[in-house]
């Protein structure tokens, strides 16, 4: 049995649009994911998040599963359109009340709430005003953050501003895979910047309201980037992919600098005119913790973009193809499995920056889970995946990286964005016909592992 410090925090993670459903109830406004998921051709099998796991009505059942799992913390996200249906203006009291009930239930069950203020469901009304491409959205985000913090700050200690700004900025505004489905150059880079500005403004606004020992952080999805070969072209490709995936966010947040190499990569599509002189200081608010989501390594191979004309290039067109060694196993998402990449990533972060305490806020895998004849859901591959990554985490900690917790993604099977309901990440199987919850083998393994840690 692997051993972690006695105060190591164990948890599970979820996200609002992926599990809540109830998209038209209690005054909730439309989000960009409501619009995107109902646009033909965007989501596998035409799925959408209208019902999802119906967590909005079944949250007590799901919290009971969390309690029985034995984790000390539950990471969830707040749906901005439930709080401010138009992204600004009057607060929808029924939306705030839902999260108050959720937090109270968690605390009653002995589980620590870890809210994330933004996990991708931007109010559609703000998108129609420019979305994350414009600074006004960052300012509206700070106002929204202050509203939620004011309502819950007396009971909630751990606050995360954004989840995975890389996905919001580049999958949402460059590749078009995620909402709002844009394929842009300057606009995607502006979105990345304004997300960081919004984070800084939100932290500043919440600290101004601080009543106790609240902790403020952000969650980034980062990847260890390795050149596919020693060819100079692949070495350069790896630097560009590291810039796109990691350093656009880590350098200003943790290092207080704009990333080197940006002009060479993007000068043909953007003049970076969206930056103000004091933005670096604003973005680099002191962090009490850094959340890191880790799923797969990235191997970079030089591959020229099909259309070299800058007028048609997006911010993701950086002449790089993501590849991986053929011998690495793959998840149902097609992602390569290499636990040692987590160790390399954490070690490099620790070498490059003065890190605050680190929490692995998401780590998990999708596999082809089925209910067997006994009514059980065996998932040995997921158990092996999590166990191996916990070993990689131990290795990083042994080298001095200050990691203080691990959250498995995810508690429940859920709406997996562009993949709809075709991919399952949960420790708990959800039957989408009747919404029954069936704990998988990995649920019981994780429970027993946590119990053994606490037993010493």
Q: Which residues have a catalytic role annotated?
A: 164, 362
> Dmax of the chain from CA atoms?
63
Strands (E) across 21-95 are located at 73-77
Q: List, as own/partner pairs, every contact residues 310-313 make where C-beta atoms lie below 8 angstroms and the sequence separation is at least 24, other chains included.
A: 310/185, 310/268, 310/269, 313/185, 313/268, 313/269
Say how far apart CA 194 and CA 165 lie, in whole Å. Answer: 10
Query: From residue 302, how far is each of 17, 53, 356 by CA, in Å?
Result: 36, 41, 34
The secondary structure of residue 258, as a DSSP letter, is P
Secondary structure (3-state) at 102: helix
Q: What angle do CA 162, 167, 170 make, to 5 degrees?
A: 125
Return the structure tokens found at 399.
């080298």
Buried b (16+ CB within 10 A) or exposed e, 307-316: eeeeeebbbb
- 419: which 2 tokens? 């993949």
Q: Which residues contact 246 (CB under 8 A, 6 or more apart)?
A: 220, 222, 223, 225
């Amino acid at each position: 049995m692997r051993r972690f410090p006695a105060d190591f925090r164990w948890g599970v993670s979820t996200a609002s649009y992926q599990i809540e459903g109830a998209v038209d109830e209690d005054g909730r406004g439309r989000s960009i994911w409501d619009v995107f998921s109902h646009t033909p051709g965007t989501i596998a099998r035409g799925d959408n998040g209208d019902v999802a796991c119906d967590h909005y009505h079944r949250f007590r059942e799901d919290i009971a599963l969390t309690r029985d799992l034995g984790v000390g913390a539950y990471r969830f996200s707040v749906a901005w359109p439930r709080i401010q249906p138009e992204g600004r203006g009057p607060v929808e009291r029924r939306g705030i009340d839902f999260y108050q009930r959720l937090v109270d239930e968690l605390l009653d069950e002995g589980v620590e709430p870890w809210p994330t203020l933004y996990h991708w469901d931007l109010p559609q009304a703000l998108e129609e005003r420019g979305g994350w491409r414009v600074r006004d959205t960052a300012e509206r985000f700070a106002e929204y953050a202050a509203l939620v913090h004011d309502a819950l700050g007396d009971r909630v200690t751990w606050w995360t501003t954004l989840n995975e700004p890389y996905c919001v900025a580049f999958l949402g505004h460059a590749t078009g895979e995620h909402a709002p489905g844009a394929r842009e150059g300057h606009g995607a880079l502006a979105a990345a910047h304004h997300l960081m500005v919004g984070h800084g403004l939100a932290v500043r606004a919440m600290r101004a309201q601080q009543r106790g020992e609240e902790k403020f952080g952000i969650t980034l999805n980062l990847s260890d980037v390795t050149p596919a070969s020693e060819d100079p072209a692949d070495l350069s490709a790896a630097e560009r992919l590291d810039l796109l995936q990691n350093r656009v966010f880590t350098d200003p947040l943790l290092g207080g600098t704009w990333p080197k190499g940006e002009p060479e990569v993007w000068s043909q599509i953007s003049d970076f005119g969206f930056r103000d002189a004091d933005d670096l200081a604003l973005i680099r608010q002191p962090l009490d913790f850094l959340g890191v989501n880790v799923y797969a390594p990235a191997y970079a191979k030089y591959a020229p973009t099909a259309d070299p004309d800058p007028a048609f290039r997006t911010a993701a067109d950086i002449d790089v193809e993501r590849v991986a060694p053929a011998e690495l196993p793959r998840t149902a998402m097609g992602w390569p499995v290499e636990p040692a990449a987590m160790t390399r990533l954490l070690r490099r972060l620790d070498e490059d920056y003065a890190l605050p305490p680190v929490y692995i806020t998401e780590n998990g895998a999708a596999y082809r889970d089925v209910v067997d004849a006994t009514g059980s859901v065996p998932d040995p591959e997921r158990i092996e995946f999590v166990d191996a990554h916990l070993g990689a985490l131990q290795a990083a900690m042994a080298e001095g990286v200050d990691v203080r917790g691990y959250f498995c993604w995810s508690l429940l099977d859920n709406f997996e964005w562009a993949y709809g309901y075709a991919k399952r990440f949960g420790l708990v199987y959800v039957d989408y016909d009747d919404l029954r919850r069936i704990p998988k083998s990995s649920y019981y393994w994780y429970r027993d592992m946590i119990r053994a840690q606490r037993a010493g």
